[in-house]
Structure formats: C-alpha cells, structure tokens
Amino acid sequence: MASETRPTLGLNITKELLDGHNFFVAASLLSASGVVQEFEADEGGAGITLFVPTDSAFSDLSATAISLQSLPADKKADVLKFHVLHSYYPLGSLESIVNPVQPTLATEDMGAGSFTLNISRVNGSVAIDSGIVQASVTQTVFDQNPVVIFGVSKVLLPKEIFGRNPVLTSKPGQS
C-alpha cells in the first residue's frame, strides 16, 4: 500500500478530556468550535497528536490581556488546530524528534511554513515553542495508536494570530 490507513479508534476526544480531569475548558472549546469532529476524523490516517492546555493554563491566559473568546470563530478554530500535529507521536518519539519544527492542522489550512510548533527537549521534559510561549508536556492523557493526547502547561499562541510581541502582562487591577 502506498499510504498506510489505520482503522479509527472511534475515540471521543471530549470524553477523554473530561475523564482526564483538569481539561474542562479545552473540552468545552473543542466541542463548541466543532473542530473536535475534524480531529476525530483524522484518527484513521497518520494519526494525531494533541497538546491540550490544562484548565490552569487557560486561567493563566485569562489573567493577561489576551482573550480567545474575543476571536472570530475561524481564528479560534485555527488556535485549536495549532495544538494538533497530523501524525501520531508518542512521548518517546517527541523526546527524540529529528525535525523539531512541526506543521500543525492549522498549517494545512493556512499554508506551508505557517502555524508551526518547535518541539525540543528542555531540562528533561518535552518543550513546545509557539514563537510566543513555551509550554511543557505535563502528562499523557491518552495514548493508543493512532491517537495521543498530552496535557500541556500553557495555551499555545500562534504568532500568525497574536503577533510576535503580544501583551502577556496582567490586566489592570490584577496582580
């Protein structure tokens, strides 16, 4: 066969996130945006790797001047797709990744060279750099080929939407 096709798991990503606790905000955003169905449809190909921010990562973001809720629906979907690689990369593969610059599902929508993540190993853990923030993998939520879901410490902000120098300072009146 020229291209490998795997049977889908029939995985309910939203349910996995809710069962994994600490991912309620991400599960809600994925459901509301409709992109979760696109992710689940991709399970049968090369697989997918999801980097899902914890609820505390969303709390940290809401304490800044950046608001995902104020984005138009298409940009919000791009931010969510920016958290997904279109291949199955279990933790061991991420730790020894050869090409650190990886396209995301948002890259597929927006064109080559855009919406990429730089994946590396920093201080013994996997780091994901969006060009604006650097997050680390905090846990494996689900791992069954062809789908892996990792919890990450920060919301990955694409520079294509938020610019190279977004305001990540606290909102006035917050410490």
- Nearest Cα to Cα of residue 29 among 3, 48, 55, 8: 55
Length of the chain in terms of residues written: 175
The residue behind tokens 């920093």 is 122
pLDDT in tens, 106-144: 998 777 789 999 999 988 899 999 999 999 999 999 999
115 CA to centre of own chain: 11
| Per-residue model confidence (pLDDT) at position 44 | 63
CA dihedral 23→25→28→34, nearest 10 degrees, is -90
Copy the structure tokens of residue 13.
């990503």
Q: How far is CA 124 from CA 79, 81, 136, 138, 166, in A?
A: 27, 26, 10, 12, 28
pLDDT in tens, 42-85: 666 788 999 999 999 999 887 776 778 788 888 999 999 999 99
| Per-residue model confidence (pLDDT) at position 171 | 42
pLDDT in tens, 97-108: 888 999 999 998
164 pLDDT tier (thresholds 50, 70, 90): low
End-to-end CA distance of the chain: 58
The three-point CA angle 148-153-155 to 5° equals 85
d(CA 130, CA 36): 21
